[in-house]
Amino acid sequence: MVTKFFLPRILTALGVIFGVVCVVFLLLHLVPGDPVEVMLGESAQPADREALRQALGLDQPIHLQLLSYFKGLAQLDLGTSLYSRRPISEILLERLPATIELGLASLILALTLAIPLGVIAAIKKETAWDFGAMGFALFGVSIPNFWMGPMLILVGALWLGWFPVSGREGMGSIVLPAITLGTAMAAILSRMIRSTLLEVLTEDFIRTARSKGLTEWTVTFRHGLRNALLPVITLLGLQLGALLSGAVITETVFSWPGIGSLVVEAIHRRDYPVVQAAVLLISFSYVMVNLFTDLVYAWVDPRVRLSK
Amino acid sequence: MFHFSIIPLLHQVQIDFKIMIRFAMALGALLLFPLLISCTDPPTNVIRFGLATAPTNLDPRFATDATSDRVNRLLYERLVDFNDAFEPIPALANWEQVSPTHFRFHLTPNRATFHDGTPLTAQDVKATYNFILNADNASPHRSALAMIDHLTIHDELTIDFHLNRPDSLFPSFLTIGILPAQLIQAQHPFHSKPVGSGTFSFVAWPDDTRLELVRLADKQTFEFIKVQEPTVRALKLLAGEIDMLQNDVPPELVTYLAKDPRLRIQRKPGTNFSYVGLSLEDEHTKQLLVRQAMAHAIDRESIIQYVLGGAARPAQSLLPPDHWAGAHNLKSYEHNPEKSRSLLAQAGYHAQAPLRLTYKTSSDPFRVRLATILQYQLAQVGIEVDLRSYDWGTFYGDIKAGRFQMYTLSWVGVKTPDIFQYVFHSHAIPPNGANRGRFHSDQADLLIDQAGTTQDLREKKHLYQELQAYIAEALPYVPLWYEDHVFMAQQNIEGFTIAKDGNFDGLKNVHRTSPSMAL
Amino acid sequence: MMFRLGIPLGIILLWASLAVLGQFLPLSPNSIELSKILLPGNAQEWLGFDDLGRPIFDRLIVGARTSFFVAFSVVTVSLIVGSLLGTISAYVGGWTDLAFVRVIDIFLAFPGILLAIALAGVMGPGIDNVVIALSIVGWVGYARLARAQVLSVKERDHVHAAVAIGTRPIRIMMRHLLPLISAPLIVEASFGIAGVVIGEAGLSFLGLGVQAPEASWGSMIRDGTRYMLVAPHMVIAPGLALMFVVLAINLLGDWLRDWLDVKGHGRRE
């Protein structure tokens, strides 16, 4: 029963990851630009170039390169950076804590904002409260983080001097990037919480609960919000995607030394293996989190399992 | 039923939201706290140097970028150095020329030992150069040292370099840091754990953004902090988070920083040569009239005044006049749109059939800004320029392969006049050199060969000056300017002298006069 | 009504007309005056000058054209390709459909515009490459939506009837399926425009979009961030323009969704 539900999902996720690796590898290898020339520079002799090309395995046909890339992946070997010549897994591990830290901080901020806003908008549907909360949400989705970030720097760091401009040092430095990333997410989440809560509140069991004479508080929170939060968990998993791609830009704006800014740096340096590994890591964690929320959802709500 | 209950609900919900928010904040604080306290404030006895780009490789046998090179100069000692006129002077060793193809180097007696305590001997010199000369090691510096035939150790302190052709400037090329032979043998990872005999030794390199070195004489710690964005670098200097900066700050920001009484600004004329490179095989740009028209169309004075904040000298040649082989009174092309237009008309271009060029540049924002200005100035005389900016790798690859009509680039760190052979000789077409524009001139070749082979330094200098006068006429490059070096620091940071080529050797004498004010 | 429809519609019409008619206005977006570098606004030139002494107002209007052109190219291409593939896949069914779902899954495994960033980075800057990169990412959403919609309507009686009288599959798809599923696709596309406007500006912000001296709001913001300390006017104007356009499209999308009575949230992101 359990394996019947979980196993296909896990297998599908693995298949998707396999496909993702192939797509990224092929896309990045079929474009113009020769990494060897970038590495050796002008004075290199043709023989030196050939030697390096061989050392990097770039002289092999592409399907063999892909095969050896998979072999490396199986041993968690992601190759070597063309730019710094360090193992990529080492670079990613170095950058990962910063991204996780920023992601967690933004997530907490987003939930702190979104749950009250969504609930209040649903309960006070079509009042000034609802209007205000949804107005905030609309602004939140409409302000791109590459503008919000600089604006926060301008006001919070340059004019007021409360927070560091960028980088990751000291307590204050996480505040501005977390606000940038968190508010956009809060905006989307609060809209979704509102609409799911509105749907739930019209369902039969709520009416039953109310007719039993339970207080509005109990009805809304015990029965309403709890049931509304279930779809929100899934949405949260999907939102991680927005969080991760938002991190690429936000980290660049704030020079936050995470995986996102690594992607952009590596693109500008034509450091393909690093771009490839970072994109894979981000997609991998995205797939994994969604698989996880899927499974958690099914575990929490048996109806999902049965309907399968 | 629903809206009857709204009023009591309102009351309850408000109270509970407060609790909810408090709870969420507490949860947030709890989760963030361990992360936050792990980032401790830097200690104040450290002197912090802000960099635009981090060093990438602390192994002088492989490092090619300017920052790595400058940091490696602090960590390692080399045989030969340069004075301000770029004449070679002894560093680790004095030398004598035994024969045209044989140089003997005597290690100086008061040299430092390696940081691991072993003395630096002729063995180490030999091991370092042999490693580079070995083709299997694929060192990017090998081809520049191709004139070395072999090395022999004369005694512990004396080493002989035997050349395969005479070269009276040979000592100028021995600027690579010396590594301990034992560790070379043991394949020590110098690129991340450097061991040299320089005045600084390696402490830590926790990540790409932070490198820590200690000055051996007084145990003063220095931190090299990469801060990519110029604005942020400037702000960190203002906030006292870093103590000093050199270069790579837009002139507008330098002006802004100069107004702050807590900071000091020093400048020194530099030698990095910016130029417009042109293809001499392209049907348009191979015409001298076209190149002259372009030279007259560019308003270098305005760009220097408004965009570079006055911090540059107009250039007439690749070598600045204060180089020992530099030339004075070279032909210069003043900004003259009228003349430019008439030159273009002579070459057969007019409004109906304008000159159209593709201009490649790197995607560095300041380079794109300059390129956009040049594009506009050329448009004013009727040259339509299509600007393409590429990431450094693609851009540089295209330039080397000769896939361009027009580009801008700088020569950085040029020290020896053999650069003319490398850049303008017809034998130096890539991959044999950097004659990327495919300049073919018998006269230039002759002068380059003569200047290269003559062993008399006065004669050499004269020939190089003659060559530069010829090149200024033939105009394979449109010369732009030499950018100044700008050093910005807290008032309490003293003792830094700016190097002509922008290296960091000034850090050897830097000290803090009063305790750090910030943090 | 004024707020939900009038103002957004006004902003979008202004955006569209500036984009289309901007080339007939006497603008000099690329005219460089070195002596005016970073000058703030004055009575004639409200918005001031950028880091090359170019008028920001003029560049803002040219930037409107860039974002409009990219948004409509990408959404048109994605909408047509995505809904066609999705419709065909759902209609044909079987192994084709199964394989198609896998392909969609793989594309959806790249969060947000990450794949577009990587693609644009690899293809090099240029507005054409931006359109290509955003379209490669964009079609998937429409494909998924179209497929789901067709699956839900293809068992309807009139479709069965059409099959029974031997109507050609292409005609069935065009005549009987697409009209039924067009409302949610239109809502999705209207939100899609907002997404692409932000996407283009984001790529240009990262230096992967337009080439100098062309103007995009994203590249203007990017240039502006470098001079925030001395010339904050450079970063404020393009950001406000971008925000108002995106806000207007989102409001209009919301209105459209309610008006067409489309269930669910047409929004991804």
DSSP for B25-56, please give it: HHHHHHHHHHHHHTSPPPPTTSEEEEESS---
Region A231-237: mean pLDDT is 75
Contact A66, A102 (CB under 8 A): no
Interval B106-135: pLDDT, tens: 999 989 999 999 999 999 999 999 999 998
Q: Which residue has the higher pLDDT, C166 or C246?
A: C246
Question: Can you spell out the DSSP letters for C203-227?
Answer: HHHTT-SPPTTS--HHHHHHHHHTT
Both A155 and A258 in one domain: the answer is yes
Query: Are B376 and C32 in contact (CB < 8 Å)?
Result: yes
Q: Which residue has the higher pLDDT, C262 or C238?
A: C238
pLDDT at B232 over 90: no
pLDDT at B421 over 70: yes
Backbone phi, psi, residue B38, to 5°:
-70, -20
C-alpha–C-alpha distance, residues B56 and B323, integer Å: 30
Both A191 and A251 in one domain: the answer is yes
Both A115 and A199 in one domain: the answer is yes
Region A15-33: mean pLDDT is 81
Contact A298, A5 (CB under 8 A): yes
Residues in CB range of A173: below 8 A, 6 or more apart: A163, A164, A166, A167, A254, B39
pLDDT at C34 over 90: no
Region B178-183: mean pLDDT is 95
Both A172 and A262 in one domain: the answer is yes
Region A2-10: mean pLDDT is 76
Most confident of B31-45, B263-277, C160-174: B263-277
DSSP code at position B413: S
Whether residue C227 lies inside any domain: the answer is: yes
pLDDT at A178 over 60: yes
Interface test with B, best of A88, A175, A217, A259 (most B CBs within 10 A): A217
Residue A220 in contact with partner chain C when CB distance is under 8 A: no
On the CB side of B225, CA atoms within 13 Å amount to 27
Whether residue A195 lies inside any domain: the answer is: yes
Interval B465-490: pLDDT, tens: 999 999 999 999 999 999 999 999 99
A 263-282: CB under 8 A from C: 263-264, 267-268, 272, 275, 279, 282
C-alpha–C-alpha distance, residues B236 and B226, integer Å: 11
Whether residue C105 lies inside any domain: the answer is: yes
Whether residue C217 lies inside any domain: the answer is: yes
Note the pLDDT of residue A44: 57
Residue A19 in contact with partner chain B when CB distance is under 8 A: no
Both A99 and A66 in one domain: the answer is no
pLDDT band at B18 (very low <50, low <70, confident <90, very high): very low
Note the pLDDT of residue B23: 45
Residue A220 in contact with partner chain B when CB distance is under 8 A: yes
Last residue of a domain, one of A47, A74, A101: A74
Whether residue A17 lies inside any domain: the answer is: yes
CA dist A93 → A248, A263, B91, C144 (Å): 17, 14, 41, 35
Last residue of a domain, one of A17, A46, A74: A74
Interval C183-229: pLDDT, tens: 899 999 999 999 999 999 999 999 888 877 789 999 999 989 888 88
pLDDT band at B185 (very low <50, low <70, confident <90, very high): very high
Amino acid at C128: D
Both A282 and A193 in one domain: the answer is yes
Chain C residue numbers touching A244 (CB-CB < 8 A): 111-112, 114
CA dist A12 → A40, A73, A290 (Å): 42, 19, 12
Both A146 and A293 in one domain: the answer is yes
Whether residue C16 lies inside any domain: the answer is: no
Both A59 and A104 in one domain: the answer is no
Average pLDDT, chain C: 87
Note the pLDDT of residue A34: 63
pLDDT at C38 over 70: yes
Structural domain boundaries enclosing A102: 93-306
Burial class (CB in 10 A: 0-12, 13-18, 19+), B41: exposed
Backbone phi, psi, residue A164, to 5°:
-65, 150
Region A90-102: mean pLDDT is 92
Interval B284-328: pLDDT, tens: 999 999 999 999 999 999 999 999 989 999 999 999 999 999 999
Q: Which residues pair with C27 in a beta bridge?
A: none
Write the ipTM. 0.86
Whether residue A258 lies inside any domain: the answer is: yes
Both A68 and A195 in one domain: the answer is no
Of C30, C213, C229, the CB nearest to B256: C229
Quote the number of domains for chain C: 1
Note the pLDDT of residue A46: 67
**Three-state secondary structure call for residue A98:** helix
Question: Domain containing A212 — which CATH number?
Answer: 1.10.3720.10
pLDDT at B407 over 70: yes
Structural domain boundaries enclosing C82: 60-262
pLDDT at B244 over 80: yes
Whether residue C34 lies inside any domain: the answer is: no
Whether residue A85 lies inside any domain: the answer is: no
Please state, as a whole number, how many other Cβ atoms lie within 10 Å of the Cβ of residue A134.
18
pLDDT at B366 over 60: yes
pLDDT band at A302 (very low <50, low <70, confident <90, very high): low
- The tokens for C180 are 């039924």
Whether residue A84 lies inside any domain: the answer is: no
Both A27 and A62 in one domain: the answer is yes
Q: How far is C180 from chain A (nearest CA, A)?
A: 25
Note the pLDDT of residue B1: 27
Interval A61-82: pLDDT, tens: 888 888 888 888 888 888 888 7
Question: Domain containing C73 — which CATH number?
Answer: 1.10.3720.10
Question: Can you spell out the DSSP letters for C38-99?
Answer: T----SSSTT-B-TTS-BHHHHHHHHHHHHHHHHHHHHHHHHHHHHHHHHHHHHH-HHHHHH
Note the pLDDT of residue B9: 32
Whether residue C269 lies inside any domain: the answer is: no
Region C70-81: mean pLDDT is 96
Whether residue A21 lies inside any domain: the answer is: yes
Please state, as a whole number, how many other Cβ atoms lie within 10 Å of the Cβ of residue A175.
17
Contact A95, A259 (CB under 8 A): yes
Q: What percent of chain B has pLDDT over 70?
A: 91
Note the pLDDT of residue B10: 31
pLDDT band at B44 (very low <50, low <70, confident <90, very high): low
CA dist B304 → B310, B480, C54 (Å): 5, 10, 18
- The tokens for C3 are 């707020």
Quote the number of domains for chain A: 2
Q: Which residue is it, tokens 């409001």?
A: C251
Q: What percent of chain B has pLDDT over 90?
A: 66
Average pLDDT, chain B: 87
Q: How far is C144 from chain A (nearest CA, A)?
A: 15
pLDDT band at B16 (very low <50, low <70, confident <90, very high): very low
pLDDT at C239 over 90: yes
Both A105 and A192 in one domain: the answer is yes
Residues in CB range of B318: below 8 A, 6 or more apart: B273, B275, B411, B414, B419, B420, B423, B468, B477, B479
pLDDT at B33 over 50: no
Both A63 and A97 in one domain: the answer is no
pLDDT band at B15 (very low <50, low <70, confident <90, very high): very low
C-alpha–C-alpha distance, residues B503 and B66, integer Å: 8
pLDDT band at B13 (very low <50, low <70, confident <90, very high): very low
